[in-house]
Amino acid sequence: MSLWQQWALSLRLLSREARSGELTLILVALLIAVTSTTAIAVFNARLDLAMQARSNDLLGADLRLKSTTLINDEWRQQAQQLGVETARTLTFPSVVLKGDEMALAAIKAVDDGYPLRGRLLISDRVYDDQPETNARLAERGPAVGEIWVEPRLLALLGAEVGDRLELGEAEYTIGAVILEESDRGGNFYTLSPRVMIHWQDIENSSLLGPGSRLRYRLLLKGDAGILQQLRTQWPLEANQSFESLQDSNQAMSNALQRAQRYLGLAALLAVVLASVAVAICAQRYAQRHFDISALMRTFGLQQRQVYRIYATQLLLLGVLATLLGSALAALIQQLLIGLLQGVLPENLPAAPLSAWLLGASSGILTLFGFALPYILPLSRVTPLRVLRRDLTPVPLSGWLITLLSLAALTLLLWFFTADMALTLGMMLGGGLVVMCLLTLLHLLIRGLRRRLGNRELPLVVRFAWQHLSRNSRQTAGQVLAFSLTLMVMAVIGVVRNDLIADWQASLPDDAPNVFAINIQPYQKDAFYQRLEQAGYRAERLYTMVPGRLVQINGESVQSLEVADDPAINRDLALTSDTVLPASNRIVSGSWQALQQQKNQLSIEQRLASRLGVTLGDELSFRAGGVDFNATISSIREVDWGSLSPNFYMMFSADVLQRLPGSFLTSFYVPADQQSQLTQLIRDFPAVTLLDMQVVLGQIQTLLAQVSLAVELILTFVLVAAALVMVATLIASLSERLREGAVLRTLGAGSDVIRRAQMTEFALLGGLSALLALLGGETILWGLYRFLLDIPYQGPFAGLGLAWIWLPPLTALLLIVLGTWLMRAAVNVAPLQVLRELES
């Protein structure tokens, strides 16, 4: 038979089987696989691009270069020649004057290219309970001779829009009030009221003389490939570096990282479930085609020809499913964007071609990785099967099928997540969990067989148990499929709830959005009283002493390898407290040592790792001209994304008592009480109030969008999970129908058969749910501990009430679904059932 004839025969057989419904289940499984994976890949890519754009808004650029000296202007010109948009900014602290009033401000000079990304929102009014009604977006910064300022600076100076302010040797007119500056960034301990000015007004000013604390930034916006090229070509000096989102806003960076991890995990689990469904359907398809293969061999076809016929059918089926799945994914994308246009980011970027190709290729990879191993034995069916129906081809080695499937799955997961650590972690951890579940399941079936084998059981229970125990391998496969499905649904649902709850806990609606620093000891009581009068809810008051680390175990830090660490070359905010902050967790040592012993120190975990110090090491500091020592008695894990006051170093109370310092606190200002901040600033002009409402608003908006994406991705996972359960039941349908027909032929009543089936499905459901809960708890521990950085609540706490309601609910679901699928066993004559199964 020629190759063309083989193709023609493949098409005829494919058409025949499509009309008879033989390919319906595997086509649906493959279609769900392609649709879900393509939709996840495309939606994930679009959302990732949108989140990246939002994160770039916080940087003010796609890439940002910072320096303490003037940046080489040739670099800017080179970037512009390559089609990259540029902008320059310069920030430094300086005093601003209005008559006899003065205030320290953070000056920011910008050129005509600013802003490149993000929003620069300005207004002509100071504090307003509804500032957005008078706000407008600025397409560029202030004009030459004009300055824009933050409202709190106006409150400190008693100024209004249109007044003149002195900066250096010149006077400037206040042109607008800055309400939002997306790329503000910075450390909230050192922020001062913003003053924005044109680059030309400051370029040759005496304010840039020796001793000025200048921070230059070159903002770049353009093609990612060109930016990466510039990043590798420019020879940076020691005081220059490229900035990332994590450098600018760690809270936003942590949220994005967790969101991307979750979306990758959801894609991973959807692929796993789709692959399992394809494997189950392919195995059933192969078993039902032994006779056709035997006839082909009887008519003279060689093994390789039979193999080509089935491989061609798989290829055609894969192409068809890929085209239909891609079309459905595109339709789903448009429907989702249309329905959620008020919640998703505006102008959601189009997905790159690579995302569509990734989703489309997943169908072919899934098909040949999970279906081909079961189709291959069809080519080895002996012609004697025409006469002897008991002859079946020797299947591929179980280990070979497992290796092929795992290789295909690993490749798919790596393509989807682009995260090798996540892929290998899930493959190794998931494989270990599955092996443990299989071992436990075999031991359980064997133990129950011994205990129940000789006992008198009700008839329906005996029928159900004999069917389950007679073929323990098939039963184990079914239970494992159900367990895997339930485990995935439980894990993905619980992680979704805990992830969103963790975000909401770290950034609740009433989270402190204004920080007050430099509160002097004689002011703290009056300041707290003023906050209570204004109706503001204040957090704890922290001592804050600026100090520098000078020695580690008696050796100067400048002589150690850690001399270049940022914690060495600047003052740290040192504090002492008897209460462990809510965003901190002790990972080593004892917090009580700070309360009960003298000269004790608690250090942040990552800093301790960078400095190479551990419990019992002695650190020496210098603060206010005083040298002092402290011994590390505990190491803390700090959630820097909580936007609450956090510290690298926390001391016992005796260490900082004799040192001069100030106090720090934070409080929540409701949206309808903004105007009261003006009077608070005037009452305490020496206290620096840092308004973080814009930053919090940006983070909360992004998290709301990410949470919505989590909900949508969860839908795809649940659909794939439902398909696995249906496919598992249908795969064993013929055997169950045959057994039911035989029992009715032998005189069993329909009611007995129906109750036996219900008992069998209840046992399958309950056992599967218990195994799924055990495996789910194990996977949750691994995910929370190593990937998502979410506190794990302990054994049997991760899935909580699911331990109570999941087993009976699963049993009920399988009873309803199984009884409906098995209705022919009691509604159709036994002879008709047997004839249909044999045909």
List, as one string, the DSSP characters of 456-517: ---HHHHHHHHHHHHTHHHHHHHHHHHHHHHHHHHHHHHHHHHHHHHHHHHS-TT---EEEE
What single string gives the DSSP state of each residue in 510-578?
T---EEEEEE-TTTHHHHHHHHHHHT-EE---EEEEEEEEEEETTEEGGGSGGGGSTTTSS-EEEEE-S
Whole-number Cα distances in Å, 736 to 378, 379, 453: 24, 28, 21
> Can you list the positions of beta strands (E) in 595-735?
600-604, 618-623, 626-638, 649-651, 662-668, 688-691
Is the pLDDT at 472 greater than 60? The verdict is yes
pLDDT at 128: 47
100 pLDDT tier (thresholds 50, 70, 90) = confident
Best CA proximity match to 635, nearest among 610, 614, 653, 656: 614
Is the pLDDT at 489 greater than 90? The verdict is no
Domain boundaries in the chain?
70-236, 514-691
Highest averaged pLDDT of the listed ranges 187-201, 464-478, 576-590, 686-700: 576-590
Is the pLDDT at 750 greater than 70? The verdict is yes
Half-sphere exposure of residue 42: CA atoms within 13 angstroms, side-chain side:
28
Helix (H) or strand (E) holding 199: helix 199-202
How many other C-beta atoms lie within 10 A of the C-beta of residue 516? 26
169 pLDDT tier (thresholds 50, 70, 90) = confident
Best CA proximity match to 197, nearest among 176, 221, 228: 176
pLDDT at 78: 92
Is the pLDDT at 385 greater than 70? The verdict is no
Is the pLDDT at 675 greater than 80? The verdict is no
Is the pLDDT at 384 greater than 70? The verdict is no
More confident residue, 396 or 795: 795
Half-sphere exposure of residue 339: CA atoms within 13 angstroms, side-chain side:
8
Question: What tokens appear for 530 in the block?
Answer: 């003023």
pLDDT at 246: 47
pLDDT at 176: 92
The alpha carbon dihedral of 680, 682, 687, 689 has a sign of positive
Across the range 598-627, mean pLDDT stands at: 89
pLDDT at 131: 47
CB 810, CB 769: distance < 8 Å = yes
* Percent of the chain clearing pLDDT 90 (strictly above): 9
Is the pLDDT at 189 greater than 50? The verdict is no
Determine the Cα–Cα distance for residues 761 and 811; give it in Å rounded to an integer: 6
pLDDT at 666: 84
Across the range 248-270, mean pLDDT stands at: 61
Across the range 117-132, mean pLDDT stands at: 68
129 pLDDT tier (thresholds 50, 70, 90) = very low
Best CA proximity match to 313, nearest among 382, 381, 375: 375
Determine the Cα–Cα distance for residues 787 and 426; give it in Å rounded to an integer: 10
Q: Which of 678-687, 712-721, 765-774 has the lowest mean pLDDT?
A: 712-721
CB 386, CB 298: distance < 8 Å = yes
More confident residue, 571 or 330: 330
Determine the Cα–Cα distance for residues 331 and 328; give it in Å rounded to an integer: 5
How many other C-beta atoms lie within 10 A of the C-beta of residue 36? 29
What single string gives the DSSP state of each residue in 169-181?
TEEEEEEEEEEEE
pLDDT at 25: 67
814 pLDDT tier (thresholds 50, 70, 90) = confident
Q: What is the pLDDT of residues 295-307, one digit of tens each?
A: 777 777 777 777 7
pLDDT at 838: 56
Is the pLDDT at 205 greater than 70? The verdict is yes
Determine the Cα–Cα distance for residues 490 and 774; give it in Å rounded to an integer: 11
Is the pLDDT at 196 greater than 90? The verdict is yes
Whole-number Cα distances in Å, 685 to 516, 523, 719, 822: 11, 11, 60, 80
CB 216, CB 72: distance < 8 Å = no
pLDDT at 147: 93
* Percent of the chain clearing pLDDT 70 (strictly above): 70
Best CA proximity match to 154, nearest among 106, 93, 98: 98
More confident residue, 97 or 210: 97
Is the pLDDT at 646 greater than 80? The verdict is yes
Q: What is the pLDDT of residues 510-542, one digit of tens each?
A: 677 788 887 888 888 888 888 888 878 777 888
